[in-house]
Structure formats: structure tokens, C-alpha cells
Amino acid sequence: MVPDEPQQPADRPQQPAAPDDRRPPAGVPRSTDPSGAPVDGPDRTGPDRTGPAHAPLPGCYRHPERETGIACARCGRPICPQCMVSASVGFQCPDCVSGADRGARRATTPFGGQPVRDGALVTKILIGINLVVFVLAAYVFKDRLARELSLLSVGPQINGYSYGVAEGPSQWYRLLTATFLHVEIWHIATNMLALWWMGPMLEQALGRIRYLALYLVSGLAGSAFAYLIAGDFMNSLGASGAIFGLFGATVVLFLRTRTPIGPVIALLVFNLVITFSVSGIDWRAHVGGLLAGAAMGFGLMYAPRGRRDLVQAATVVLMLALVVGAVVLQTARLNA
């Protein structure tokens, strides 16, 4: 509670107001303050009391009709709320933001790929394709699909005419489709477990496109190597050529990143022992995929930073050229 003001006694005569406290007549300016500026009267805001109370604000550089008191933190141009882009300090205009994006160096994986949130997406898709083809080949279409997709090749020396891959380019699709074909549960289980173990690691290191190229070309190289050696009479299937290509690239990755290489070498040796000791396994596709994967791994992971994209693209193209050359050469030899 605020105490009441003390009242003047009623019998005491009122003191006249000081001259400075008396308000001058209307239209006459009041006396000036110590600096000389008038403190009241029509001259307080200049000649025209009806003018604006403040100077007009500048208009947005993109929307001149909109007044704004905010300026871009980089270039200083006025920007309205619609054009403001939040920055670490203040706001920036759209032009400065887009220019900074163009000049900024984009993040990449260790070997030039684009980093992504899901580093195993391509691996999951490859496993899904293999599983779908397995179900169709083993339980739906059975022998029919296996005959159409396998790496089957019969030269004219057997029946007097060529069949399968040896027949010519119209059958060369088998070099790829055979790498997605399995008819035994143990076969697809072991291949997909190996793919899940190595795939995400290589996919995150190389990026999706380079990793997919490594997988597909390694599978093609395994098929081509098998055809080059036994194209006159053979029938092969499975993703093992591509899987061994991932083994070869993983060895190179461990060397490149100076990771202890013992575990991957032990697993690779174990698989090679099975390859050469168990009957019914096409060692040619395994060896061809392994050599191609290791060679591509060196080209993809040891490419100089200044010419990385060029060297990596040349590596993939060169390996594809070797695959095509081997297939063409063997087909010509068989049909000579």
C-alpha cells in the first residue's frame, strides 16, 4: 500500500507557480531546455506535426512492397519473413544460401560414394531378389525356371549344335541370371549369410552405385571364367561368384584401412577349402569372382583423390570389357 501524500494546511496561503512551470498560451512554443531545443509547441516534430513518426523501413530485395527491419547476415540486403532462412547466426537470404550450397564441398564415403542413412539398402534388395528367385525356382516353376536361368552351355562337339551360352549373344543373359539362381536351401542360406556379413560394410565404404557395380561385375566375371574354361559342357548356378568377389574386395578394404586382416583371410581360406574339397561346387566361378573382386577393389579403393571418379569408372569398364572379351572368344572357339 502506498501512503497518502501529505496535504497542505488549509490556512496556509497557496504559493504561486514558478514562472517556468506556467504553460504558455496556445501556439507559443515553450521555453527551450538547456541544449536549446524546444520541449513543447508546434515545432516539436518539425514544421509539420502531421508527418510520419519515423522514417520508412527499406523494402525486401525480392518483395519491394514489403517493409522489413531484417537484413541478410552475409550480404546485408533487406529480407522479409518469407525470404528469411535461419542460419547459425541471424538470417540469410535465399541467394546467399544457394550460393553457399554450390560452393560447399559435399560429404562422401571414404572412397567417393554418397553417404546415405540406410547403409545396407542395396544388400537387402540383393538378398530379397535372391530369395524371390529361389522360391520361384525351387517351389513354383521348379525345373523349368532352373533350365531357363542357369549357366548352361553345350558346345557343338556334344550334340552337333550349340546350346545355352555357347549358342551366342541371345543366350548370354545366363551369365547374369545364374548369379541369382539357387535350388537348394543350404546353398542360398550360406550365400546370403556371407552377403549379409560383408555387404553392408562394403556398401557403406564404397557407396551404393560402386558397391552394386562390384557385386554384379564380380558375378559376371565368375560366370565368364567358368564359361571360358568349361564352356563346351557345363551347367552352373548360384551367387557364389559375386560372393567371392566381395571376399576379394573385403581383403583389399582391410588392407587399405589397415584393419587386422586375419579374420577375413581365415574365412576366405575356409571357403576355398570347401570349394575344392566338396564335389558339385563350381570352383571356376568362385576363383573368377574372387580375382575380379580383388582387382576391382584395388581400382575402387586406391584411386587417387584428384582423379577418383575417372579411375573408378575405368576400373569397372575394363573389367566388363574383359568379361565380354572372354565370352566372345570362347563362343567363337566353340563354334569354329
Q: Decide if pLDDT at 4 tops 50.
A: no
pLDDT at 216: 97
pLDDT at 285: 95
Q: Decide if pLDDT at 115 tops 80.
A: no
Residue 207 and residue 226: Cα distance in Å, rounded?
Answer: 29
Q: Decide if pLDDT at 227 tops 50.
A: yes
Pick from 66-75, 191-200, 217-226: least confident: 66-75
The answer to whether 78 touches 71, Cβ cutoff 8 Å, is yes
The residue with greater pLDDT, 213 or 82, is 213
pLDDT at 334: 92
Confidence of residue 117 (pLDDT cuts 50, 70, 90): confident
The answer to whether 194 touches 215, Cβ cutoff 8 Å, is no
pLDDT digits (tens, 9 = 90+) for 9-51: 444 444 444 444 455 455 444 544 544 555 444 444 444 545 5
Classify residue 180 by its DSSP letter. G
**Mean pLDDT value across the chain:** 84
Which positions are catalytic?
Answer: 240, 286
pLDDT at 53: 55
pLDDT average, residue stretch 308-335: 95
The answer to whether 67 touches 56, Cβ cutoff 8 Å, is yes
| DSSP per residue, 294-305 | HHHHHHHHS--G
pLDDT digits (tens, 9 = 90+) for 279-299: 888 999 999 999 999 999 999
pLDDT average, residue stretch 144-159: 91
Residue 211 and residue 209: Cα distance in Å, rounded?
Answer: 5
**All cell numbers assigned to 179:** 548369379
Pick from 39-53, 112-126, 250-264: least confident: 39-53
Q: What are phi and psi of 38, to 5 degrees?
A: -65, 145
- Cα–Cα–Cα angle for 45, 51, 52, rounded to 5 degrees: 95
Q: Quick one: what percent of the chain has pLDDT higher than 70?
A: 80
pLDDT digits (tens, 9 = 90+) for 67-108: 888 888 888 889 898 888 877 667 888 888 776 545 455 667
Confidence of residue 269 (pLDDT cuts 50, 70, 90): very high
pLDDT at 97: 75
Nearest alpha carbon to residue 182 among 242, 135, 227 = 135
* Beta strands in the chain, from DSSP E residues, in sequence order: 85-86, 91-92, 151-154, 163-164, 233-236
pLDDT average, residue stretch 157-180: 93
Residue 297 and residue 245: Cα distance in Å, rounded?
Answer: 9
Residue 266 and residue 288: Cα distance in Å, rounded?
Answer: 19
pLDDT at 41: 47
Q: Decide if pLDDT at 206 tops 80.
A: yes
